[in-house]
């Protein structure tokens, strides 16, 4: 099954792209939960972080560094949140690992 993220990466469906390199793509979330809400998605299909292999470690690190760079570009120096959902109880809705980057307001804890 091809996920919505694979279709975005393959340019089969449109998305507002914020960043792209050989490893990942970042898009604006279509249902933002904060004034700024982006997704950072690896081009390699990794179903979820709980199923990542040791060989995926460089990709996972790249996703976090990319999130930091985008946060700084977006003026989120006062703070931001990075979220990775894993499994249905963790809030995962698309079976393709992705990092949520949220900011632009004070984020409370616990998140939900």
Residue 9: name the closest of 34, 41, 32, 57 by CA: 41
Assess whether 98 carries a catalytic annotation: yes
Identify the active-site residue in 37, 96, 98, 100: 98
**Helix extents (H) in the chain:** 4-9, 57-73
Give the separation between CA 46 and CA 109, rounded to whole angstroms: 28
Residue 46 has which token pair?
Answer: 């990794």
Q: Which residues are catalytic?
A: 98
């Amino acid at each position: 099954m091809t996920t919505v993220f694979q279709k975005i990466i393959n340019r089969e469906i449109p998305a507002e792209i914020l960043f792209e390199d050989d490893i990942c793509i970042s898009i604006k979330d279509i249902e933002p939960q904060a004034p700024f809400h982006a997704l950072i998605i690896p081009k390699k299909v990794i179903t979820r972080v709980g199923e990542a292999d040791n060989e995926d470690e460089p990709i996972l690190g790249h996703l976090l560094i990319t999130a930091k760079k985008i946060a700084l570009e977006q003026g989120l120096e006062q703070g931001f949140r990075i979220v990775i959902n894993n499994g249905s109880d963790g809030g995962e809705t698309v079976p393709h690992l992705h990092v949520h980057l949220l900011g632009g307001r004070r984020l409370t804890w616990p998140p939900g």
